[in-house]
Structure 1
Amino acid sequence: MKPPLIVPTSTVSRNAVVLIATIAAGAAVYWLRDILTPLAMAIFLLIMIDGLKRWIEHRTPVPERWAGLSALIVVILGFLASIAIIVQGARGFFTQASEDTVLLGPRLDQILADTYRLFDMPGAPTASELIGRIDVSTYFATVAMQAQGAVTGAIFVMIYLGFLMASQSGFRRKLVGMFPDRGSRSEAMGVFQRVRGGVEGYLWVQAVTGVLICAVAWVLMRAVGLQNAEFWTFVIFVVGFIPVLGGAVAGLAPPLAALVQFESYWPALILLIGLQAILFISGNFLQPRMQGDNQNIDPVVVLLSLALWGHLWGVVGMFLSTPLAVMAMAVLAEFKGSRWMAILLSGDGEPYADEDESPPPKAKRGRVNPPQSAGR
């Protein structure tokens, strides 16, 4: 009889501790989401400010001493303007919808009747019957609470961002204190650089492709005469940072608005085909060429990260799901025991963008570090 496989006790204990720690960390992230989501968004904005600062230093004639302040002003104004545009645009959209209620009801009735007739289904309900089944007061109360939460969250994000920027000056001293050895410190900085590079690359690709998509989408919406075209254009840009779901919202929301606005179905059909074509070209040709090795993540991991962080942190988690996956892959790739997880997260089995960027073997670092320490 073949003897049973003996698993070392240390391995079992280590795996059990890792599993318990993972569950505890997930529970803490969920329970502390009201505190952690503004902090995560502030760190995200801090990375944006740092990247924009370096871009201003190298690509513009702005003096180096003013680059940081310029980047800070641009990012903060952009963040506040985004919230203002969404709030004002949503309010204008609902106000216009409420003013056009007299015309909206018959149009919805016609859409329902045509839909039922298309599928040979008798007894099409009216819009008033469907609306009567919905608790409108509860829905609007939920929307109002969400809007209030967004404003409160924005205030906390600004507070966290201010404290993070104030503590940024002591980051290098903290790094020296945590890693006295010069080799370990260099390795830690390499991890930080890879994390920052991955997040900045993701932001750059999404921003550039978002601007291009929005430019074409705005021309298309204005051509068919869609109301609130500017608001829908900004919505398309913002949701572009949410993987999978962002494309669905961008490709379906304006056609649905056109379906209600126009008596004919042709404007909605034109918008549906045009936006889907734009998103297809961007997602299959433009973004892959721009991404290169900056977002070397498996598509399944992107989907799972979206579902996980969306469940834990809501909309903010959806926005941050891909950057958080990039950070996790970069950190996991640095340790021998967790590198296999980084390989699974990567798209091509190489967690590093380039093999030359990967850290040298432990044995080589062990032979180099002692002379450096002795030299000091």
Structure 2
Amino acid sequence: MALQRVSLWAFLLVLFFYLITVGEAILIPLLIAIVVWYLIDILADGYHWLHFKQWRLPFFLCFILSILTFLGFSWLFIHLINSNIGKVIAVAPTYQANFEKLLIQIFSWVGIDELPNFGNLKDNINIPQVISTIAISLTNIAGNAGIIFLYVLFLFLEEKTFHRKLKRLLAHNPEKEKAVEQILCQIDEDIKIYIGVKTLLSILTAVISFFIMWMVGVDFAAFWAILIFFLNFIPNIGSIIATIFPSLLALVQFDTIYPFLIIVSALSVVQFLIGNFLEPKMMGSSLNLSPLVILLSLAIWGSLWGVVGMFLCVPIMVIMMIVFTYFPKTRPFAILLSENGYIRLRYKEKIADD
């Protein structure tokens, strides 16, 4: 029996990875659409929360305003990508040349006239290739905007009939219907908290970083701010990479080292304050993934879906951990995915798992 169960799990795991590899073109826009769907719901709740004395905006109007707000941000994102992408790729060879000169200077300062396998090092640290890969990934996301919004539309249509389907499905057991609906509401609320807080803090980090880079005079500050926004969804590692990229650019762009020192110190302070003080206060520490899980997720999803998979992997793992938490048979997986074994379970009643 145990061998059959292990074989079944192994088969399902292989089938899962096969399906996500084959269905990449469908699943990536769908996953982004789910995040967008949640963001629009969060914005609508935010508009509904605002009120003047006893008067609140009707929820339908809040929903319309949230869609318009999101469309405005989407237009800004696509505009910034389209207006900066070609320029960044065009100037990348110049950055590469400046980087190679900088390496030669550094080695001469420490008394090394020639670095062994220096040609291989230059090939491995290829700035144009790195920038082009990131740029193509961001362009693909912007290019899929139409199909993403189509998915979002159908998700909202499905949302209207979901509770009716749930009632029909569990009509024979009213107690279980109530319990399942309560669990789904808690899962939905936890996912909203994660996506809403993480998106808000990512925007805040990107905006502050943009003004720092703009004041220093770093090229294409808006492009790097967008990259920082996406990298901020990756805990720990993302903040490090988000600091390294603009700092290296400042190092190869300017003739003096002072802009580099300003950028690396200022961005590090921003990432440290938001990541270690503001985010735990707003979200709590119960949704933090294990660092090992993050590294493995980056490696696996990056190899399957490239740069976009690396951006999406942590939100996917966090949502999986939230869902696993609320079902007894999958709760051990949530504990294994967590950083310290502590998971948040706000619904305390015992729920049948059959």
Q: Say which of 246, 249, 265 aligns to 1:254.
A: 246
Which amino acid counterpart does residue 341 of structure 1 have in structure 2? F
Match of 1:73 in 2: 68
Q: Output one character per residue of 1:229-276: Cα deviation in whole Å (capped at 9) or x when no partner.
A: 333333322321233442133201212221222111121122112222
Distance in 1 between the 2:290 and 2:193 partners?
16
Q: Say which of 37, 57, 65 aligns to 1:62.
A: 57
Any conservation in 2 of the 1:241–1:319 contact (CA below 8 Å)?
yes
Match of 1:241 in 2: 233
Which amino acid counterpart does residue 42 of structure 2 have in structure 1? G
Distance in 2 between the 1:300 and 1:140 partners?
27
| Cα distance change of structure 1 residues 337 and 203 upon mapping to structure 2, 3 Å threshold | closer
| Cα distance change of structure 1 residues 293 and 174 upon mapping to structure 2, 3 Å threshold | farther
> What is the Cα deviation at residue 140 of structure 1?
9.7
Judge which range, 64-73 or 214-223, deviates more: 214-223
Which amino acid counterpart does residue 359 of structure 1 have in structure 2? E
Match of 1:277 in 2: 269
Which amino acid counterpart does residue 85 of structure 2 have in structure 1? A
Distance in 1 between the 2:261 and 2:130 partners?
29
Moved over 6 A (4+): 127-145
Any conservation in 2 of the 1:201–1:295 contact (CA below 8 Å)?
no
Q: Say which of 319, 326, 349 aligns to 1:359.
A: 349
> What is the Cα deviation at residue 57 of structure 1?
1.2
Q: Does 1:338 align with 2:330?
A: yes
2:233 partner SS: coil
Larger Rg: 1
Please show how residues 171-182 of structure 1 align to structure 2 within 5 Å. Answer: 171-180=162-171, 181-182=173-174
> What is the Cα deviation at residue 311 of structure 1?
2.8
Distance in 2 between the 1:279 and 1:216 partners?
10
Judge which range, 34-43 or 156-165, deviates more: 156-165
> What is the Cα deviation at residue 324 of structure 1?
2.0
Q: Say which of 45, 50, 53 aligns to 2:44.
A: 53
| Cα distance change of structure 1 residues 172 and 106 upon mapping to structure 2, 3 Å threshold | closer
Match of 1:201 in 2: 193
Match of 1:265 in 2: 257
Which amino acid counterpart does residue 233 of structure 1 have in structure 2? A
1:278 partner SS: helix
Which amino acid counterpart does residue 266 of structure 2 have in structure 1? G
Judge which range, 41-50 or 172-181, deviates more: 172-181
Please show how residues 126-205 of structure 1 align to structure 2 within 5 Å. Answer: 146=137, 149-180=140-171, 181-205=173-197
| Cα distance change of structure 1 residues 146 and 333 upon mapping to structure 2, 3 Å threshold | closer
Any conservation in 2 of the 1:198–1:326 contact (CA below 8 Å)?
no
Superposition CA RMSD, Å:
3.5
Which amino acid counterpart does residue 263 of structure 1 have in structure 2? D
Which amino acid counterpart does residue 351 of structure 1 have in structure 2? I
TM-score after normalising by structure 2 = 0.83
> What is the Cα deviation at residue 95 of structure 1?
4.6
Match of 1:370 in 2: none
1:331 partner SS: helix
| Cα distance change of structure 1 residues 316 and 358 upon mapping to structure 2, 3 Å threshold | farther
Which segments of 5 or more consecutive residues in structure 1 lack a partner in the other structure?
1-8, 367-376
Distance in 2 between the 1:131 and 1:79 partners?
37
Name the count of aligned residue pairs.
348
| Cα distance change of structure 1 residues 163 and 289 upon mapping to structure 2, 3 Å threshold | same
Any conservation in 2 of the 1:107–1:263 contact (CA below 8 Å)?
no
Which amino acid counterpart does residue 38 of structure 1 have in structure 2? P
> What is the Cα deviation at residue 192 of structure 1?
2.3
> What is the Cα deviation at residue 46 of structure 1?
0.8
Any conservation in 2 of the 1:86–1:235 contact (CA below 8 Å)?
no
Which amino acid counterpart does residue 37 of structure 1 have in structure 2? I
TM-score after normalising by structure 1 = 0.78
Q: Does 1:14 align with 2:5?
A: yes
Any conservation in 2 of the 1:333–1:342 contact (CA below 8 Å)?
yes
1:242 partner SS: coil
Match of 1:26 in 2: 17
Distance in 2 between the 1:135 and 1:109 partners?
10
Which segments of 5 or more consecutive residues in structure 2 lack a partner in the other structure?
none
> What is the Cα deviation at residue 38 of structure 1?
0.9
Q: Say which of 288, 297, 318 aligns to 1:326.
A: 318
